[in-house]
């Protein structure tokens, strides 16, 4: 059970009262509020990009027990606490598969995330297909999209929020150009905390 601190609740009320008018649906607004809260920056409301039905897909997958696969230990840790207090979805980080990396053309994270996806999607292949959360590595996001082009199983949701300057916007634009269910933070901004916040907003709605 999640018990919110009064300061957090006051912060959310403040954020809600200062957001610009938008046409986001209920779940998208919840995600946006968490992103603004995590970043302390109202400008992210102009950067977040939702594919149609992405938040609904993610919420239903969480309720169905979908595993959550992240590119970093930091994002995994940030999500795990909320998951344990709500739907108890299992959370995995790409590091679990690092030691198997013999693919010299890939970064460790790209390899680990892709191997994690292959393993988890073989087990969870229906309405509980994995949710993939990327808050650091643009190469992991790009390679994941590549391997999904001919995949029979697709993620229930991809949170695409790698951060940095080299290849980051390119990887996000590649995700946006697909039909995959996604939440993307445009520009060079992102990070593990932001990516985790998007998932945690949806986990809160499972209560």
Phi/psi at 126 (5° precision): -115, -130
Give the tens place of pLDDT for each residue, 14-60.
Answer: 999 999 999 999 999 999 999 999 999 999 999 999 999 999 999 99
Query: ∠39-44-46 over CA atoms, to 5°?
Result: 175
List the chain domain ranges: 47-204
| pLDDT for the residue 5 | 86
Residues labelled as active-site residues? 37
Task: For the chain, give the number of residues.
Answer: 207
Confidence of residue 207 (pLDDT cuts 50, 70, 90): confident
For the segment(s) 47-204, the CATH number from 3.40.50.10230, 3.30.1360.170, 3.40.50.300, 3.90.850.10 is: 3.40.50.10230
State the residue for tokens 């998208």. 28
Confidence of residue 154 (pLDDT cuts 50, 70, 90): very high
Mean pLDDT of 182-204: 98
In whole angstroms, give the CA distance from residue 57 to residue 184: 15
């Amino acid at each position: 059970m999640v018990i919110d601190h009064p300061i957090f609740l006051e912060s959310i009320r403040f954020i809600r009262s200062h957001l610009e008018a938008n046409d986001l649906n209920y779940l998208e607004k919840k995600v946006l509020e968490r992103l603004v809260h995590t970043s302390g920056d109202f400008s992210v409301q102009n950067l977040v990009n939702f594919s149609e039905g992405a938040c609904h897909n993610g919420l239903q997958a969480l309720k169905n027990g979908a595993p959550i696969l992240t590119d970093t230990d930091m994002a995994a840790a940030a999500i795990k606490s909320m998951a344990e207090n709500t739907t108890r979805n299992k959370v995995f980080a790409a590091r679990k598969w690092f030691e198997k990396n013999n693919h010299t053309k890939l970064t460790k994270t790209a390899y680990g995330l892709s191997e994690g996806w292959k393993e988890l999607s073989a087990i969870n292949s229906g309405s509980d297909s994995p949710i993939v959360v990327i808050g650091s590595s643009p190469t992991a996001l790009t390679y994941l999209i590549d391997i999904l082009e001919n995949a029979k199983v697709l993620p229930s949701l991809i949170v695409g929020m790698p951060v940095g300057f080299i290849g980051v916007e390119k990887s996000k634009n590649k995700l946006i150009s697909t039909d995959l269910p996604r939440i993307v933070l445009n520009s060079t901004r992102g990070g593990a905390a932001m990516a985790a916040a998007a998932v945690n907003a949806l986990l809160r709605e499972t209560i």
